[in-house]
Amino acid sequence: MYDESTTSLRVAIVTGAARGIGAAIARRLASDGAAVALLDLDADGCEKVAAEIRGSGGRAWAGSVDVTDSGRVEAAVEAVVTELGPPTVLVNNAGITRDNLLFKMTEDEWDAVMDVHLKGAFLMSRTVQRHMTAQGYGRIVNISSISALGNRGQANYASAKAGIQAFTKTLALELGKFGVTVNSVAPGFVVTEMTAATAERLGLTFEDYQNKAAEQAAVRRVGRPEDIAHAVAFLAAEDSSYISGQVLYVAGGPVN
């Protein structure tokens, strides 16, 4: 239970933290000294990562959320306030893909992707900003993607990830005067279950898919979740107070 008199720790919320990039962000923010709330549809997955963080001496709490559901978002954030204290960092990382070429893309595939990425980031940010503006301090980091620049088979996802960048810049304008910075990290290819599923859909082994991605990157390797966590930690740091409304591409090279 949070006790204001005994803790001055920063409190970070990471959505989609049960695995992949979100889990790596949670681990990294915890090792940087934050008390971390891990939220996901998969609460058991979050609890595994949270237990691991606690095992290495960090503070972590796992909860369940569906970021597309305003009631569950409100309840999850309230639980974080009770368990860890008012949030000072929010990482909107939860995401899904529903890839298809335009002529085959269903309305459900479009809506599902818009809901998780855009509505999810909106609901989480709207709920959490209350606590940040009240404290006169906050860091919001939204996970975009290089797909925001356009990607075949991802009309829904590319649009959502481009929307995340506009959302980021707008929130930066609105919240700056309250001591809240808002930035975005746009990853390139990162080895997670999401890219493993894409490989399967394309009929490639994951290894072949990774080799192809590595060949296309200037640094000739694929990204790891920790690479993204590193960029998020930088933007979430107290010292990053003069950086806001930015999109940091973390893709092993320039993007176009």
Binding stretches for ligand NAD (CB under 6 A):
15-16, 18-22, 40-42, 65-68, 93-96, 116, 120, 143, 145, 187, 189-190, 192-195
138-143 and 180-187: which strand pairing? parallel
Give the position of tokens 């001591």.
179
Amino acid at 130: R
Q: 179 or 226: whose CB is closer to ligand NAD? A: 226
Asked if 93 and 36 count as a contact pair (C-beta separation under 8 A), the reply is no
Q: Give the length of the chain.
A: 256
The minimum distance between CB 179 and ligand NAD, in angstroms, equals: 26
What's the order of all strands across the beta sheet hosting 11-15? 59-64, 35-40, 11-15, 89-92, 138-143, 180-187, 247-250
The minimum distance between CB 238 and ligand NAD, in angstroms, equals: 24
Q: 47 or 66: whose CB is closer to ligand NAD? A: 66
C-alpha–C-alpha distance, residues 93 and 89, integer Å:
12
The minimum distance between CB 147 and ligand NAD, in angstroms, equals: 7
Amino acid at 43: A
The minimum distance between CB 85 and ligand NAD, in angstroms, equals: 22
The verdict on whether 2 is a catalytic residue reads: no
Show the 3-state SS of 158-199.
Answer: HHHHHHHHHHHHHHHHHHHHHCEEEEEEEECCECCHHHHHHH
Q: 144 or 181: whose CB is closer to ligand NAD? A: 144
Q: 32 or 42: whose CB is closer to ligand NAD? A: 42
Annotated catalytic sites, by residue? 157
